[in-house]
């Protein structure tokens, strides 16, 4: 019983317990608040080796995104785990935001914990999420269209 309690406590302390959606949600919540140290706890070593240098830039981008497109509350609602969808295959999970399925986070199970391992883009799906059907739509992409990301017409 003590071993089980210690395992649960370590999962809570490490911040990596829960579903892949939970892990991705917490990662983005930390990035959007500028807490890159906490965000890194949700990533594999391979992910950090590949993308860790860009965390400060990602955090700065999220701060810009919040200021320009969402005000103070941006990042709170859209990064709740309920807004993510997940596809599991063994020890790999593909996670994406329901309203923006073109950006997929790939999670890997390490022991009992899920961690972010990579990401991929589906450019066609991204264009669809932005309601871009042709070159004219792409040329007319404005901050307002980005603000309404994922709201298909």
pTM over 0.75: no
Tokens of 51: 């993308």
| Domains, the chain, ordered by start | 2-121 (3.10.450)
- Strand locations in the chain, DSSP E? 84-89, 92-97, 100-110, 113-121
Backbone angles phi, psi at 105, to 5 degrees: -95, 130
Give the tens place of pLDDT for each residue, 60-105: 666 665 665 554 445 556 677 888 899 999 999 999 888 778 889 9
The 10s digit of each residue's pLDDT in 5-54 is 333 333 444 445 689 999 999 988 888 777 888 989 999 999 999 888 77
Listing DSSP states for 54-71 in one string gives GHHHHHHHHHHHIIIIIG
What is Dmax (Cα atoms) for the chain? 63
Question: How many other CB atoms sit within 10 Å of the CB of residue 25?
Answer: 22
């Amino acid at each position: 019983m003590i071993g089980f309690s210690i395992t649960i406590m370590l999962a809570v302390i490490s911040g990596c317990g829960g579903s892949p959606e939970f892990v991705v949600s917490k990662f983005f919540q930390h990035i959007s608040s500028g807490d890159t140290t906490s965000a890194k706890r949700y990533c594999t070593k391979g992910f950090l080796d590949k993308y860790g240098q860009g965390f400060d830039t990602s955090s700065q981008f999220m701060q810009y995104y919040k200021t320009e497109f969402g005000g103070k509350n941006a990042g709170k609602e859209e990064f709740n785990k309920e807004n993510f969808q997940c596809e599991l295959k063994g020890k790999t999970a593909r996670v994406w935001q329901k309203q923006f399925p073109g950006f997929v986070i790939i999670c890997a199970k390490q022991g009992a914990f899920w961690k972010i391992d990579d990401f991929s883009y589906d450019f066609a799906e991204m264009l669809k999420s932005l309601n871009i059907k042709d070159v004219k739509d792409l040329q007319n992409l404005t901050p307002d269209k980005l603000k309404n990301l994922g709201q298909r017409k």
